[in-house]
Amino acid sequence: MTSAFDTTVWRVLGNPLVEGASDDASGRLAGETVAVKDLYAVAGFAIGAGNPQYLREAAPEASHAAALATLLGAGASVVGIAQTDEFAYSVAGVNAHYGIAPNPRVAGGLPGGSSSGPAAAVAARHASIGLGTDTAGSIRVPASYQGLWGLRTTHGAVSRAGLLPLAPSFDTVGWLTRTPELLRTVAGVGLRSTASLQVAAPERFAVAVPLIFAADEGVQAAFVDGLDRLTRRGVLPAPEIIELGDLVELLAAFRTVQAAEAWEAHGDWVRAHPGVLGSDVAARFEAASRITRPQATDARASLATHRAALDAALQGRTLVLPATSSTAPDRGASAAAVDAARVATLSLTCLAAIGGYPAVSAPLLEVAGAPLGLSLVGPRHSDLALVDVAARFAAAFAA
């Protein structure tokens, strides 16, 4: 459990830090508290991006990020600015400068990143809402590892104004909560500006066998058992088996474009500040610096082809898959083991990023007592409907 002020979780903590509006007629989020990932602008505070040197050089923000302002306008208050993996370039939840946030659900387990701080704050009940981001899985991974509800929104459906980018082609706003009811309310508020675009989730469901085999054996067994329980209880029609193409090639193209955009966003700063990044993130930026323009162009073309193929394969279907390839790795695991889990998980989470699709991680499964998310990926702008479907699944599990 976190303490009231645990620096592995919080960069700044208030009581509250920013008061929510009291004049919103709806007051849909009145009484809720928000842990804000340290990539969003909070008026009067600098963005730290998980790096002390970056924080020292950053100026205080003049106004709130758009996604934060929306929550405040609906009555939620900010309890604090929460830690992130450096520049959000990780899904492990390891920060070389501030330490590793606790995982309240798995003693000694990694919290998952890069929304590690907001997730830990919500799981420990120090906030009811985590405002995070998801580029390659940074909402879904900590949600899965810590038994939370998480939503990666349709790419571009929520304004990213005031959000420090990593890879703009994939960066999305997302939220973490402990209940599906609150996630649905938060999503309704956060997606208000694009509500007219929301569509129903397809009632046909699909699985892709290679995605199941990308996970470890415990996850495979829990996932198959979970699907069986849902079908026997009549809430999940028998899923169709679909092909999604070469997952290795797809992930390679995604990582190349992500890296190229990360270097474009932060390469000048990284080059001017040698030695200030943790070794894992430094290695990723070093690799990113070597990507040539033709390589990035080729990878973008490949992704466009893959995106079209995904659209065709998922037409009229909701994809069901494990949210992560494993439960939370032990924080004492070797760097190689953590990286292997990261790469395997990215092969699952990158699909939504490539397609710009919304994705939910629902805490419905367990492996040896550790939480595991069941993920749903739907058509663009089916965000709210996906939460509703996942909540229906959760009710069936509880019955």
The predicted structure's pLDDT at residue 27: 83
Tokens of 336: 């190689």
pLDDT attached to residue 399: 81
Q: What pTM was estimated for this model as a whole?
A: 0.96
Q: Which of 77, 115, 128, 138 is catalytic?
A: 138
DSSP state letter for 236: S
> Quick one: pLDDT at residue 24?
53
Catalytic residue among 37, 77, 116, 361: 37
**What structural domains and CATH numbers belong to the chain?**
10-196 (3.90.1300.10), 204-363+372-398 (3.90.1300.10)
Beta bridge partners of 134: 172
Say whether 77 is catalytic.
Answer: no
What was the pLDDT predicted at 1?
Answer: 38
Give the C-alpha separation, 379 to 273, whole Å: 41
Active site residue 196: no
Spatial distance between the Cα atoms of 258 and 252, rounded to a whole number of angstroms: 10
63 flagged as catalytic: no
Residues of the chain with pLDDT under 70: 1-4, 23-26
Residue of 77, 114, 326, 382 with catalytic role: 114
Name every residue whose Cβ is closer than 8 Å to that of residue 305 and which is 6 or more positions away in sequence. none
pLDDT at position 26, please? 66
- Among 158, 115, 107, 183, which residue's Cα sits nearest to residue 362? 183
Q: In terms of DSSP H, where are the helices of the chain?
A: 52-57, 66-73, 116-123, 140-146, 180-190, 209-213, 217-232, 247-272, 279-289, 293-314, 335-355, 383-398
- Mean pLDDT score of the chain, rounded to an integer? 96
Could you read off the pLDDT of 23-44 as tens digits, one per residue?
655 689 999 999 999 999 999 9
